Chains A and B, each alone.
Chain A
Amino acid sequence: MASRKKVLLKVIILGDSGVGKTSLMNQYVAKKFSNQYKATIGADFLTKEVMVDDRLVTMQIWDTAGQERFQSLGVAFYRGADGCVLVFDVTMPNTFRSLDSWRDEFLIQASPRDPENFPFVVIGNKVDLENRGVSGRRAQGWCHTKGDIPYFETSAKEAINVEQAFQAVAKNAMAQETDVELCSEFPDPIKLSGDNNKPQGNNCPC
């Protein structure tokens, strides 16, 4: 069990500027929230270790800029994504309407192997605010037409449902990962003694 391969899951957060992508990431990873708005430049990432189905997984969460074009990082960070979180603001209908184009953008840039079943999660953020503009039913309906994407209503400010939403994307991404492992043409070589055959397992470096 202990020698099972370490897993890195790359998750990308997309959505219009100001919907709370950075806040969601900070709430999930660092359990912090700040009311002050700070535009994200280019992209940034944080890592968090989580348990998914009894397996320790390192999640690398990429927060992207909603509109800024300051030092664009290009498409390199889309590469090898295992999951994608689409975020809108429940008080701003236009951010909900953008979901289609964010989803398309992701599928074009990341070009995942199986776009139909790629693990997306949709988050309607800022449910703590009064002036709701997008109903839960409407959002659910959109998710249903896109192949039953799981939908979560969250508040990064009050830490409502944030954990659950990210846990869902990790779980679904892991499920895909395991599928790939099963059909992989080259299974991992069987190691009789793991790392113990060489003391410490470090050869000269290079």
Chain B
Amino acid sequence: MSDISKSQEYMSFRSTIPQRKVVVDDDNTKEWTLYEAGPKTVKSPLVCFPPASGTADVYFRQILGLSALGYRVIAVEYPMYWTMKEFVEGFRKLMDHLGLDKVHIFGASLGGFLAQKFAEYTSRSPRVGSLVLCNSFYDTSIFQQTSSAPTFWMMPAVVLKKMVMGSFHKTETESHIADSIDFMVERLDSMSQQALASRLTLNCMNCYVEPQKLRDVDVTLMDVFDECALSLNVREEMCKCYPEAKRAHLKSGGNFPYLSRSMEVNVFLQIHLRKYDIGSLRARELTEEEMAMLADSDAGKSLQENYEKERGKEVRPKDRM
């Protein structure tokens, strides 16, 4: 077992937060896996999309850390969807099932790509409040696997796992990063051939995001300055794709900063979500003390202004029509 799985923190996560399975499709085998924490009164929670190799629990440090601050956080794990259409429709049905109108999505790698595709799919009647994309991409052609992707379903698990693990460099890394890799390898090992093949198919099948459809979405781009599976070029392309986005750089963290640098990642998530603290898109309940401060302080005014600015952004496209 990896050090993280053995840690007190992870064990307390597993013993306090129940794992839920939800089926929203006609096909009974398509099961979503969920971990959820935080107040149910919040209607725009932060939803976390895992990378291709990850299960929903890779976000346990976000679930624990942010729910302690009053946020409602839901980490999900995708069922075996083989096409993008299946995925976006499936996630919309899951949101309907959970009674969520709009959510904020934090997605890493494949998770970030899927989050963008979902925002694009719902651009006409938005279901996405905002996006935080971590070490992500907007075009699958960067992996140069588009031609072999249709055959992933029949490849042996060991080949698929090797494909993913090839990008986990573990030389001379600092201990937190090394631990995060061990933990991810463990998650990867636990996955069935079909589950992994379906994610890699979504990951590599010819597909890209149309950025013009996401123009009005509030985006924060998170990336690391040390070694990770994506080249510098891809990271810079991503910034060009979202010129308005806030850039949350981390000095280091490797491929899985939400595990290896969770404190810093959580601070970035808090700053990203703070502008929604009041209003219908809020991702947390304020404490009584904070409510009192809001009522008569400058902080209240600042938040109100920020909130109105965001609202203004949202209203604009409709005005144009």
> Across the interface, do B166 and A38 meet the contact criterion of CB distance under 8 Å?
no
Inter-chain contact total with CB atoms closer than 8 Å: 127
> Across the interface, do B274 and A206 meet the contact criterion of CB distance under 8 Å?
no
Interface pairs (7), CB distance under 8 Å: A8-B249, A39-B297, A77-B267, A189-B171, A203-B166, A204-B145, A205-B137
> Across the interface, do B225 and A6 meet the contact criterion of CB distance under 8 Å?
yes
Asked if A73 meets B305 with Cβ closer than 8 Å, knowing A203-B166, A205-B167, the reply is no
Most buried by B among A7, A40, A195, A200: A200
Q: Does A100 contact B (CB under 8 A)?
A: no
Could you give, for residues 33-48 of chain A, a 1 whenever the CB lies within 8 Å of some chain B CB and a 0 otherwise?
A: 0000111111111010
Contact of B251 (CB < 8 Å), options: A8, A74, A205: A8
Most buried by A among B166, B251, B266: B251
Q: Does A76 contact B (CB under 8 A)?
A: yes
In the assembled complex, which residues on chain B have CB atoms less than 8 Å from the CB atom of A202? 142-144, 229-231, 234
The secondary structure that dominates the A interface is loop
> Across the interface, do B167 and A42 meet the contact criterion of CB distance under 8 Å?
no
In the assembled complex, which residues on chain A have CB atoms less than 8 Å from the CB atom of B51? 205-206
Which residue of A is nearest B267, CB measured? A76
Q: Does B52 contact A (CB under 8 A)?
A: yes
Question: Once the chains are docked, how many angstroms separate the CA of A80 from the CA of B313?
Answer: 34
Which residue of B is nearest A6, CB measured? B225
- Chain A interface (Cβ within 8 Å of chain B)? 5-8, 10, 37-45, 47, 58, 60, 68-71, 73-74, 76-77, 79-80, 186, 189, 195, 199-206
In the assembled complex, which residues on chain A have CB atoms less than 8 Å from the CB atom of B274? 41-42, 71
Chain A proximity of B206: nearest CB distance (Å): 15
Asked if A199 meets B109 with Cβ closer than 8 Å, knowing A58-B249, A60-B249, the reply is no
Chain A proximity of B117: nearest CB distance (Å): 15
> Across the interface, do A8 and B52 meet the contact criterion of CB distance under 8 Å?
no
> Across the interface, do B293 and A70 meet the contact criterion of CB distance under 8 Å?
yes
In the assembled complex, which residues on chain B have CB atoms less than 8 Å from the CB atom of A5? 225
Question: Once the chains are docked, how many angstroms separate the CA of A31 from the CA of B8?
Answer: 48
Most buried by B among A40, A41, A199, A201: A41
Contact of A10 (CB < 8 Å), options: B251, B255, B263: B251
- Kindly list 18 other residue pairs between chains A and B, CB separation below 8 angstroms, not including A68-B299, A206-B109: A38-B305, A39-B298, A39-B301, A41-B302, A41-B303, A42-B271, A43-B267, A45-B248, A70-B290, A70-B294, A195-B232, A202-B142, A203-B167, A205-B110, A205-B137, A205-B164, A206-B51, A206-B54
